[in-house]
Amino acid sequence: MGAMQRTILIVDDDPHIRQLLVFALAKVGLQTREAADGEAALASVAERAPDLVVLDINMPRLDGLEVCRRLRAQGELPILFLSSRDDEIDRVLGIELGADDYVVKPFSPREVVARVQAILRRTGAKAAATGLDGVITRGRLALDPEAWSARWAGAELSLTVTEFTILKTLAATPTKVFSRDAIIDRLRGPGFAVTDRTIDSHVRNLRAKFAGVGGHDLIETRAGIGYRLGACAGGVEP
């Protein structure tokens, strides 16, 4: 699928910001649609799902966090949050709800475009991985990069693009301890301003999802270093 076929839904109650992003995304060959509030965004997705949603957090009627919550209840559509203030609580909460990334206002349109393209690359990585990695099996965990699916003891779990990428990174080299910086580099490429706290939020999401099906030993924390894949044997809850 070429870049021209990718469609981005821009959701913001400020028409100036929407037009700024429409222009910036069009310059790199991405199609766009617009929504001025959360209700319009949900209606637009229901009518025809885009490839990614750029979603403002603070909007009237239905804020971005609630829109994200509802979209996550329906599936794993990639989401990039726009936060109107430099408030880590908002950003971390957004990530915990399942957003793939965030940008703080005021932002550079080039930064938003770079983040959008990074998420789209990860989404398209399933095609690139075809015939290369095959299914990664570690204990009761099975990851299929080609199908973009994760299973625990045969039960399929719904993961975001970022969650899947983190888990695949750990599972591909199960004996290695990855620092948070190393995980960030795998996700975005070096130099992106993503915090350790964001990685911790994604790992917390992964642990919660797998714990629900008995996978309490999915990921180990190595104090002062980072994370590595756990035994994936279905250990009892600590």
Instruction: Supply the pLDDT for residue 102.
Output: 85
CA distance 166 to 43: 31
pLDDT of residue 223: 85
State the pLDDT at residue 127. 41
The reported pLDDT for the residue numbered 3 is 39
Residues 218 and 210 sit within 8 Å (Cβ to Cβ): yes
Does 3-124 carry CATH code 3.40.50.920? no
User: Could you state, in order of their start, the residue ranges of all structural domains in the chain?
Assistant: 3-124, 129-229
Kindly give the parts of the chain with pLDDT less than 50: 1-4, 125-133, 191, 238
Domain at 129-229: CATH architecture: Orthogonal Bundle (1.10)
CB atoms within 10 A of CB 232: 21
- 192 with 184: CB under 8 angstroms? yes
